[in-house]
Amino acid sequence: MNSETTEIVKKLLESPKRAVVVGHKNPDGDAVGSCLALSFILNRLGHKSDVIMPNDFPDFLKWLPGSEDIVIHDKDTDKSMTLINEAEIVFTLDFNALDRTGDMQQFLEDSTAKFVLIDHHQEPDSYAVASYSDTSMSSTSEMIYHFLEALDEIGILCVEVATHLYTGIMTDTGSFRFPSTTATTHRVIAHLIEMGANNSEIHQNVYDTNTPDRLRLLGVALKNLTILSEYNTAYITLTQKELDTHNFRRGDTEGFVNYALSVTGIVFAVIFIENKQDKLVKMSFRSKGNFSVNEFAREYYNGGGHINAAGGRSNQPLSKTVTEFISILPNYKKALTDAS
């Protein structure tokens, strides 16, 4: 965090403030981990802080200390509105534009609070009085650690916050294997373990939570895996019917796309998930090396993310979406074969 941003934040936090810490819609481990950590820290520093998420977060995060106090905007809109209205500072974590908060967007735009953005996604909007944006960072949770260092408050780390941050970093780095994982990330992790984060227990709590239905759905996804070796590309499809048959719950398909990326020689992987209710197809993109799925998703699928991980959507039916996707690939043949 640069000194200018540090000074603005220090000044904002000089006297006790009412704050809310907000994550993005469909919150993941990094969003929940970083928001809980920052909120715990603010409360420990004498402020009054609450975490608000636009919608519910996955069950595999519900053991996190303080997660039971998170306000879910679409379930408890009155409480969320009151907190936003009373807030003097709004911290927005792990996203780069207010439309990532879904139905909360309007309330946030109407708020008179000072906004602070902490995020590692590309091209952040400029709604904040202080923006700590760094796309080289593994996770927003790692940024919260560096945020504490910048504020000279690293001594405030406790076992709860260490647990939040460890969980956020672990989930956003694919358990420390994505290229964004640096030596510094590992130094941060080492310190978090020293502060009491139980790495083995956290891993179990997050990853050993499969239901038989989810594993069988994974079986279907793997059966549907298609390899386009000419383009070093692999994709998976899941229809609404396949989801329904396996009692799909949000989060069940998390990580499925990585199996497609794990095929030898594959540098570009996609999962297409049909959503009949919203009349769209949701896509997750993953890549290896310098093939930017962020650019690809922005260009064609009204989405974005990071260079090696992004999301997008299509309003076409599933089969048409896949056909169109395949028709785009020849434009990228060189990039896809150079990237391997």
Residues near Mn ion (CB under 5 A) are 30, 94, 139-140, 172
Distance (Å, whole) CA 252 – CA 260: 16
Report the 10 Å Cβ neighbour count for 47.
18
Cite the beta strand spans of 220-267 per DSSP E: 226-228, 233-238
User: What's the closest the beta carbon of residue 171 comes to Mn ion, in angstroms?
Assistant: 8
User: What's the closest the beta carbon of residue 117 comes to Mn ion, in angstroms?
Assistant: 13
User: What's the closest the beta carbon of residue 34 comes to Mn ion, in angstroms?
Assistant: 7
Residue of closest CB approach to Mn ion:
30
Tell me if residue 272 falls in helix, strand or coil.
strand
User: What's the closest the beta carbon of residue 178 comes to Mn ion, in angstroms?
Assistant: 11
Whose Cβ is closer to Mn ion: residue 177's or residue 334's?
177
Whose Cβ is closer to Mn ion: residue 171's or residue 233's?
171
Q: Longest C-alpha distance within the chain, in Å?
A: 60
Distance (Å, whole) CA 153 – CA 159: 15
User: What's the closest the beta carbon of residue 191 comes to Mn ion, in angstroms?
Assistant: 20
Whose Cβ is closer to Mn ion: residue 206's or residue 335's?
206
User: What's the closest the beta carbon of residue 95 comes to Mn ion, in angstroms?
Assistant: 8
User: What's the closest the beta carbon of residue 255 comes to Mn ion, in angstroms?
Assistant: 15
Distance (Å, whole) CA 177 – CA 139: 13
Tokens describing residue 148: 């504490």
* Residue with token string 């927003």: 140
Distance (Å, whole) CA 192 – CA 201: 14
Report the 10 Å Cβ neighbour count for 233.
25
CB 155 within 8 A of CB 44: no
Whose Cβ is closer to Mn ion: residue 97's or residue 281's?
97
CB 139 within 8 A of CB 173: yes
CB 118 within 8 A of CB 95: no
Whose Cβ is closer to Mn ion: residue 139's or residue 233's?
139
Distance (Å, whole) CA 229 – CA 154: 48
CB 42 within 8 A of CB 49: yes
User: What's the closest the beta carbon of residue 87 comes to Mn ion, in angstroms?
Assistant: 22
CB 135 within 8 A of CB 118: no
Question: What type of residue is 238?
Answer: L
CB 313 within 8 A of CB 280: yes
User: What's the closest the beta carbon of residue 157 comes to Mn ion, in angstroms?
Assistant: 20
* Residue with token string 């239905």: 213
Whose Cβ is closer to Mn ion: residue 33's or residue 66's?
33
